Amino acid sequence: MHSLKPLLKKFFTPITILVVPHSKSQPLRLRISFMGILLCFFLCLTGTGYIISIGVDTVEYYVMKKKLSYLAKEFDDLKSTISSLKKADTEFTKLLSLKSRSTILESVDFENTGSLDIESLKKQVNETIQSVSAIRNYISEQKDIYLATPSGWPVNGNISSYFGERIHPVTGEKTMHTGVDIRAPVGSPVHATAPGIVSFSGWTNDSGNIIVVEHGHGFSTAYAHNKKNYVLVGQKVKKGELIANSGSTGITTGPHLHYEVWKNGRQINPALYLKEMQ
């Protein structure tokens, strides 16, 4: 106890600090105990440490904020691509529900690494979208071909002469019959078997009143021996639209419609296209 008194006395012994200004004013005397000096030093040290820690936290905050901003942007991009995929999936579900064509999509294989790799995921999603776009373009092209392909009967009746070599009913010579003859009463409605544009509508000596329609993708159809044509060159026609009345104009042995189907400039058997496509 007696040994502590001198130590305490030293701690509380006042110390005079003399501040001498360069001007002519009187020096400033500060009396403070040694304990007070230690306390001020401790407070300054603590304050400095606190300010440094605040500075470090602030820097870390802005670094984290920058990272969060980047991740938010990445997730927004990902959300947009996923939305595009959902839209494409809806379109394909609607198309494939028609069961008119079968299309197989290979799914992307995402490996489970236990963590989310944004860049890898975006790459795989973009590859999937490109595949979806390619398939969409393919289906669009197939749709155009489907619409351009003639289908169904141009007139109600029965086939009296098929496609291929035959003995011509008028000349008696062996010739190539480039279409089918469909027996029908004079005045029967003749309909276009696919949408297209009329490239010829007029008279020839052999075929009488004849109409030729271009459908695209290499397909053309011809309707001959009509009693009357109802369409003009350059006119657009729809599938099933009335284009003529059947007759027996030109070189014939009776009323019928001579129907031809052309593919890339070559006559093909129209009987293959008389059935409606499903």
pLDDT at 114: 47
pLDDT at 112: 47
Longest pairwise C-alpha distance within the chain = 151
pLDDT at 100: 46
> How many Å apart are CA 80 and CA 72, to the nearest integer?
12
pLDDT at 106: 35
Are the CB atoms for 197 and 235 separated by under 8 Å?
A: yes
Q: Does position 22 have pLDDT exceeding 50, yes or no?
A: yes
- Rounded to an integer, what is the distance from CA 65 to the centroid of its chain? 35
> How many Å apart are CA 258 and CA 251, to the nearest integer?
11
Which residues make beta-bridge pairs with 161?
181
pLDDT in tens, 31-75: 776 677 777 777 888 888 888 888 788 888 888 888 878 777 777
Question: What are the boundaries of each domain within the chain?
Answer: 64-148, 158-273
158-273 maps to which CATH number? 2.70.70.10
pLDDT in tens, 101-157: 434 433 334 444 445 555 666 666 666 667 667 777 777 788 888 889 999 999 999
Tally the residues of the chain.
278
pLDDT at 199: 95
Token digits of residue 66:
């920058």
Helices first, then strands: H and E counts in the chain: 3, 14
Q: Does position 183 have pLDDT exceeding 80, yes or no?
A: yes
pLDDT in tens, 209-243: 999 999 999 999 999 999 999 999 999 999 999 99
Are the CB atoms for 245 and 187 separated by under 8 Å?
A: yes
Give 45's Cβ-side CA count (13 Å radius): 6
Which residues make beta-bridge pairs with 191?
242
> If you average pLDDT over residues 190-219, what whole number do you get?
95
> How many Å apart are CA 187 and CA 119, to the nearest integer?
69
Sign of dihedral through CA atoms 105, 111, 112, 118? negative
Q: Does position 173 have pLDDT exceeding 70, yes or no?
A: yes
> How many Å apart are CA 76 and CA 271, to the nearest integer?
56
**Within 10 Å of residue 33's Cβ, how many Cβ atoms?**
14
pLDDT in tens, 257-270: 999 999 999 999 99
> How many Å apart are CA 13 and CA 179, to the nearest integer?
128
> How many Å apart are CA 103 and CA 90, to the nearest integer?
15
- Rounded to an integer, what is the distance from CA 188 to the centroid of its chain? 45
Cα radius of gyration (the chain):
47
Q: Does position 10 have pLDDT exceeding 90, yes or no?
A: no
